[in-house]
Amino acid sequence: MTMSDKENSVFTQGEGNIYTENENWKEETVEDLDDEYLTEEEKLHPWKQTKTFYWSVFVASVAVLFYGIDISAISGAQVGYKPHFHISSRTNLVGVMVSCIYFGTFVGVFVALFTNTYFGRRFSICVAAILSTGGCLWEALAPSWQVFIPGRLIVGISYGIIGETAPVFLAEMAPTSIRGGIVSLYQQVITIGIFIGYLVNVIFVWVDYKVTGWRIMIGAPMVPSIIEVFLIWTAPESPRWLIKRGRLEQAKNNLLKLRLYPETAEKDFVRIKKAIEEDERLQEGKNLMLELIRLPFLRRAVLVGIMEMLFQQMSGMNVFMNYIDTVFQENIHMSSRDSVAVSLFPGFVNMVSTPIVFFTIDRYGRRTLQLVTFPIMFLMLLMVLFSFYGDRKVNLAFFIIGVIFFIVAYSPGAGPVPWTFCAEVFPTYVRAAGTLVTTFFVNAFNFALSFSWPSMEAAWGPQGSFGFYAGFNFLGIIMQFLFLPETKGYTLEQMKVVFEEGLFTIAWYHIRSGWRSLRKLLGLPVSNSPLVSPYDKAVALSRAREEELRRHSGEPVKNG
């Protein structure tokens, strides 16, 4: 066929996309472990996607917006509701009123497991939006702290559902080439919500904040949640969920809307369908929660996922998000209104720093981002710690500098990377169970931080408290250097091969690789013998395909 013939053999389909007929392929030639099919155009311009795809991303992002607004709204509202409810000196109760939301998220995670399985991602997000609307209204109208807490628990249930659903929904819609950036949008929208929440705080702290202003602050998240109740139904359902429920034609139609070229959609459909058929074979007669413990490669993924969530929360970022106003007020000795106004700046820095992740996470990888940003966070917390040994001007200057550059490092690293990692790392047949576990733990760690901070600060002072979180950041550098593998470039169906080798094998490889890099940096001789990664994609996939062939021929295979 000549070039002219090729140019004449195209027709338009879907959203005006061009589909070439010269690609002759059969369903039997596509495997679940294959790389994602991409045309040359898609390889050159991975962010060129359909309008429906980006609309769906926008709709899913609005669902996350009310979560971000609440994080900062509770920080600003404290300057009003603590004196209003006469609890300023009751540090444990202050901690409970901030952190009790995470008891609700524990429930929400399990609700999401049920709704995501039987009713889909859109239904789950709609339920979360309805609960968020009701919970925010309850909080805003609460006459006492005893009434306030149940409203906070209802809001927590909605956030548990969102945290379990939104990252998976984004991951299942996105092509592999930009999946890291798209799932990281979850964190970006949270930061936008945080900034909007701070902006609301700054405006309404001037409206009798001890009586009325704090109620408007805490009720602000209900605005996007009301919109989302209706907006979510304008986005297509997850094709993976539809295929799993046997709704194949609808899944294929949705993929045609979400992919730039019909040939890409067709091959994605076949690959996902085969992967789900394999998942169903693997799931048959099994308790998936026990499967996470029984199989070594799944157990390793769970442990590293929990590790990522641990260091995300214990980095100390949520101290700045949940308590920044009271930290300025009590430790920098600002007035209530000044502390709320100054907190807007860290919120703005958080919002504008997060987009860095879109251009780095799929290019340089998840592991690289964590190993670059965690040392910066550690050093900035040390600066915050030592700022309290100077006079008021030194304290204020170094505290603000430390907080700002801590946030600049956190925003493209510890913020989005753990969510991306946990949304993608589990094999598809146990992804719901795996993300359930990691979401449960991130909420548990968040509860521990949010509840303990007021009492910790009262007992240890700001120096000891920030020193505690600096220590956790240093531990995070070591643990992630040793045990965090790189997952960029794998399709969701290929993820099951990442943890085929043991964690200590992975750690030993990282030590040897790091030692070689250090010697190169110092100009010292380095061995020429190849150092093969235990999660090298080509090697791991070759091994996985060999095991599948042995399984189909009836030969015994290893279980991870």
How would you write the pLDDT of the chain (560 residues) with one tens digit per residue? 433 343 333 333 434 343 334 445 555 555 544 555 555 665 667 778 889 999 999 999 888 898 889 888 888 888 889 989 999 888 889 888 988 998 898 899 889 989 988 999 999 999 999 999 999 999 999 999 999 999 999 999 998 899 888 888 888 888 877 877 787 777 788 889 989 998 998 888 888 878 888 999 999 999 999 999 999 999 999 998 999 899 999 999 999 999 888 888 888 898 888 888 888 887 888 888 898 999 898 999 999 999 999 999 999 998 888 787 778 877 777 877 788 788 888 889 989 998 888 888 888 889 999 999 999 999 999 999 999 888 888 888 899 899 999 999 998 899 889 988 987 888 777 877 888 889 889 888 988 988 898 889 889 988 999 999 999 999 999 999 999 999 887 876 677 788 888 999 999 999 999 999 999 889 898 888 888 888 777 776 777 667 666 666 666 555 55
Collect all residues with Cβ–Cβ distance below 8 Å to 288 and sequence separation of at least 6.
429, 430, 432, 433
Rounded to whole angstroms, how far apart are CA atoms 379 and 356?
A: 20
- Give the pLDDT score at 28: 53
Which helix (H) or strand (E) segment holds residue 54: the answer is: helix 51-84
Q: How far from each other are the two terminal CA atoms of the chain, in whole angstroms? A: 47
Residue with token string 């919500």: 193
- Give the pLDDT score at 363: 86
Which helix (H) or strand (E) segment holds residue 10: the answer is: strand 10-13
Residue with token string 């430390």: 402
Residue 34, token pair as written in the block: 């294959």
Contact 543, 500 (CB under 8 A): yes
Rounded to whole angstroms, how far apart are CA atoms 102 and 448?
A: 9
> Of 196, 212, 162, which Cα lies nearest the Cα of 73?
196
- Give the pLDDT score at 555: 62
C-beta neighbour count of 343 within 10 angstroms: 28
pTM over the 0.85 mark: no
- Give the pLDDT score at 527: 84
Residue 128, token pair as written in the block: 């979360």
Rounded to whole angstroms, how far apart are CA atoms 106 and 112?
A: 10
19 three-state secondary structure: strand
Range list of H helices, 332-365: 336-342, 344-353, 356-360
